[in-house]
Structure 1
Amino acid sequence: MNNLFRLILFFCLLSTSSLLSGNAAQPDSTYLIRGRVLGGDTNEPLVNASVSVQQVNVSSVTNQDGYFSIRVPASTKNSQLLIRYLGYENRNIPIITLIDNPNNHITLKPSPIELSEVVVVSGDGKELIKEALQRIPQNYPDNPHMMVAFYRESVKKGSNYISLVETVLDIYKATYSSYSNDQAKIYIGRKATDISPRDTVLLKFQGGISDALMLDIAKNPEIVFGTDASEYQFHIEGLININDKPHYVISFAPHPGIKEILFRGNIYLDAASLAFARMEFNMNVEDRKDAANIFIRRKPSKMRVDVNKAQYVVDFTESDGKWFFNYSSTEVSFRVRWTNRFFGLFATTYTISSEMAITDRYDNNVVKFPRNERIRSTDVIAEKVEHFLDPDFWGEYNVIEPNQEIMDAVKRLSGKLRRRAD
């Protein structure tokens, strides 16, 4: 099975290092919009809601508390901010009404399905998935394009963040009708660490950017489904509205009796085109002593690692009849303890997370990157980003609004992430 998450664990004593951050003045040609997106029926925050600006490819997503920040061009002052979330009606808000108001609470109305909109089916969803896989070449771009992305990865020990890496990426997105791989290169980056001299475990997260791109299951369906999805059973759970359009919700899980560690979760198919619009899934790692072998590449012999969870999200956006990779996230949690007498009394939970959000997209000047500039699947981004540090840069770029816990460790991030002027 292809790995979607690779770690290197080894034993060492570490010296203390301090948190690093940078904040720059905001450019006058943009407006910073902040807000929080809530469900109108529950008043609960909506996580990973899409936030975008009409007529331009500037976008972001809400964080775990429903907050977002997005810096929009001054030329879009009279445009609309579009908020989208599955199961809720889209909401367009005039940007001019959000400027200079840091406490915007935006509620979305639930969006019931009108049963007359589509032919309602239930039961086995395997044929729908097979048809969706066959339609990938027509539902997704048949020409390569360029993207700008914000990428963040973090390491949490217990409830405390001990490492945070953020980068702005340039991405060459290969056509969906070819076997060419996507390419990414770091444009700029920064990192923060908070490691105590008492820490005895140093984690290196390998291949995070490459794995975030591999989560594009329309481009790489074999990552989850293998060659023919024969190991899985699919069931149509019903319909849900996304972007004011009906989508099939199809659950999937390994067939009973299959012993291999595989995936399970929900697939959201656009009912009209059968395009993959979103997928939320995880690995069946619970109580599996062999699960650590999937993720851990190296560790001390006396270290015991048990995987608690491994979950993934990938999201797409539609434009002019084509669907584009828009967002992906990964979260893996595992428990570490030592088998020798002294250390065996203690166990620590570590959580590794990554997010990639596409914030701009264009189809002119589409070029592959020189080999020596490309991110490789073996790269440790926390080490790679050291060559791209520039604290004065970040004021110009959009990022995903950090969660409250991260904000306690690193100053609030803001700025504009979009295509750079030539």
Structure 2
Amino acid sequence: MKHLLQLLLLFCFLPALNLFSGNIEQSDSILVLRGRVLGGDTNQPLPNASITVQQVKVSSVTNQDGYFSIRVPESTLNKQLIIHYLGYENKEIPIVTLINNPNNHITLIPAPIQLSELLVVSGEGKSLIKDALQRIPQNYSSDPNMMVAFYRESVKKGSNYISLVETVLDVYKASYRSYSNDQARIYIGRKATDISPRDTVLLKFQGGISDALMLDIAKNPEVVFGTDASEYQFHIEGLVNINNKPHYIVSFTEYEGIKDILFRGKIYLDAQTLAFARMEFNMNVEGRKDAANIFIRRKPSKMRVEVNKAHYVVDFIEYNGKWYFNYSSTEVAFRVRWTNRFFGLFATTYTIASEIAITDRYSDNVVKFARDERIHSTDVIAERVEYFLDPNFWGEYNVIEPDQQIADAIKRLSGKLQRRKQ
């Protein structure tokens, strides 16, 4: 089993704060569309809803509060913005109606599935998964392509963010028929941190971007399923609508008696092609003292670490009959306790999170990156970017809108940087 996330814990001193602000001029040919996506049955926000443009390879996703912004070329003025979300009908909205209207509330209608459309709607699902794995070469692109992606990673201590990193990436996406690895390089990035001098340990999030790309389980099925998925039992739970098409819901869990720490979760397969459309899963870390060894590369001997949760999501999108990696997220929570201190009875909870969203995709000028430009699995991204204050930093690039908690954290952390600069 490959490790999806590695954390490096080190004693350290606070680094000196060097402030940086960047700006990319926004072209007059770019339109900025904003809105909020809600479920029509619950009136609640729909996080990670996919936002695309008709016949254009520009996309984004909603944040945890259901908000989105997307920058599109002016040439798309007469096209449709398409929103889709698991279990709801697609919504198509004329782009022209969204201009200069930041308070758009877009409601999606629940989409029932006609069970007569398909024969298999429940039962043992291992054969279905094996068929899906065998069909990967025909369902996914056989040619490499280039992608632009937005990546965010964060560290929370208790309920407070102490580190935020955001980057726009260039991504070389290798063919699904090859053994070549995906590659990424940072185009532009920024960070904000608040590591108190009283904190005796600094968390370094190692390999975040590499692991986010490794979550492409169609490219790297062995990450979760091993060589043949023989350690898991699968069950078909039924059907759900995604992108106005029926999808199998297949739950999986490891067989009893297996000593390794594996996974459990749900797989969503396109019913017609058996393409992996989405996967939501957890690592079975609960109650496992040895789980910390998966995530912690190095730590002081007096530090005790207990992993509370490890949750993952990966999402794909279909374009012209082929499926492409579109989004992934990771969230790992753990408790840290010191055994040699007066306050050793008290534990601190840390949460490490990351997400990557593909915002553009193109097939011309597909080239691998020079070795010194690539992001490696040992890289700590926070050490590769500068501090930020400029709210117009991203220019015309598509990014995931920060939810309210992250927006508040950015204000707080940036405020601290301003005070330290004075």
Hey, what does 1:267 align to over in structure 2?
Answer: 267
- Equivalenced residue count is 412
**2: distance between equivalents of 1:27 and 1:199?**
43
Hey, what does 1:215 align to over in structure 2?
Answer: 215
1:107-118 alignment, distance < 5 Å: 107-118=107-118
Q: Deviations over 1:146-189 (max 9, x none)?
A: 11111111111111111111111111111101111111111111
Hey, what does 1:416 align to over in structure 2?
Answer: none
**1:355 and 2:363 are equivalent in the alignment:** no
Hey, what does 1:246 align to over in structure 2?
Answer: 246
**2: distance between equivalents of 1:339 and 1:132?**
48
Q: Please tell me the residue identity of whatever aligns with 1:232.
A: Y
Q: What is the CA-CA distance between 1:365 and the residue it aligns to? A: 0.9
Q: What is the CA-CA distance between 1:386 and the residue it aligns to? A: 3.9
In structure 2, the CA distance between the partners of 1:172 and 1:277, relative to structure 1 (3 Å rule), is same
Q: Deviations over 1:126-162 (max 9, x none)?
A: 0000000000000000111111111111111111111
Hey, what does 1:45 align to over in structure 2?
Answer: 45
Q: What is the CA-CA distance between 1:323 and the residue it aligns to? A: 0.3
Hey, what does 1:318 align to over in structure 2?
Answer: 318
Hey, what does 2:403 align to over in structure 1?
Answer: 403
Hey, what does 2:309 align to over in structure 1?
Answer: 309
Q: Deviations over 1:9-55 (max 9, x none)?
A: 12345368599776766432212111111100011111100011112
Contact 1:16–1:195 at 8 Å: present in 2 too? Answer: no
Give the match's secondary structure for 1:227: coil
Contact 2:21–2:389 at 8 Å: present in 1 too? Answer: no
Give the match's secondary structure for 1:9: strand
Query: 12-21 vs 133-142, which deviates more?
Result: 12-21
Q: What is the CA-CA distance between 1:120 and the residue it aligns to? A: 2.9
Contact 1:268–1:278 at 8 Å: present in 2 too? Answer: yes
Hey, what does 1:96 align to over in structure 2?
Answer: 96
Contact 1:9–1:298 at 8 Å: present in 2 too? Answer: yes
Q: What is the CA-CA distance between 1:76 and the residue it aligns to? A: 1.1
Hey, what does 2:339 align to over in structure 1?
Answer: 339
Contact 1:112–1:240 at 8 Å: present in 2 too? Answer: yes
Q: What is the CA-CA distance between 1:321 and the residue it aligns to? A: 0.8
Contact 2:152–2:355 at 8 Å: present in 1 too? Answer: yes
**1:79 and 2:79 are equivalent in the alignment:** yes
Give the match's secondary structure for 2:285: coil
Q: What is the CA-CA distance between 1:390 and the residue it aligns to? A: 9.3
**2: distance between equivalents of 1:21 and 1:203?**
24
**1: distance between equivalents of 2:181 and 2:201?**
34
In structure 2, the CA distance between the partners of 1:164 and 1:388, relative to structure 1 (3 Å rule), is closer
Q: What is the CA-CA distance between 1:259 and the residue it aligns to? A: 1.9
Query: 289-298 vs 120-129, which deviates more?
Result: 120-129
Q: Please tell me the residue identity of whatever aligns with 2:286.
A: E
1:186-201 alignment, distance < 5 Å: 186-201=186-201
Query: 26-35 vs 166-175, which deviates more?
Result: 26-35
**2: distance between equivalents of 1:154 and 1:245?**
34
Q: What is the CA-CA distance between 1:121 and the residue it aligns to? A: 3.3
**1: distance between equivalents of 2:388 and 2:155?**
20
Give the match's secondary structure for 1:199: coil
Q: Which runs of 5+ in 2 are unaligned?
A: 413-422
**1: distance between equivalents of 2:401 and 2:365?**
30
RMSD of the alignment, in Å?
2.0
Q: Deviations over 1:379-410 (max 9, x none)?
A: 11111224999986511211101011111122
Query: 207-216 vs 65-74, which deviates more?
Result: 65-74
Q: Which runs of 5+ in 1 are unaligned?
A: 413-422
1:271-286 alignment, distance < 5 Å: 271-286=271-286
Any runs of at least 4 consecutive aligned residues in structure 1 with deviations exceeding 3 A, and if so which? 12-27, 386-393
Q: TM-score, normalised by structure 2?
A: 0.94
Hey, what does 1:417 align to over in structure 2?
Answer: none
Hey, what does 1:56 align to over in structure 2?
Answer: 56
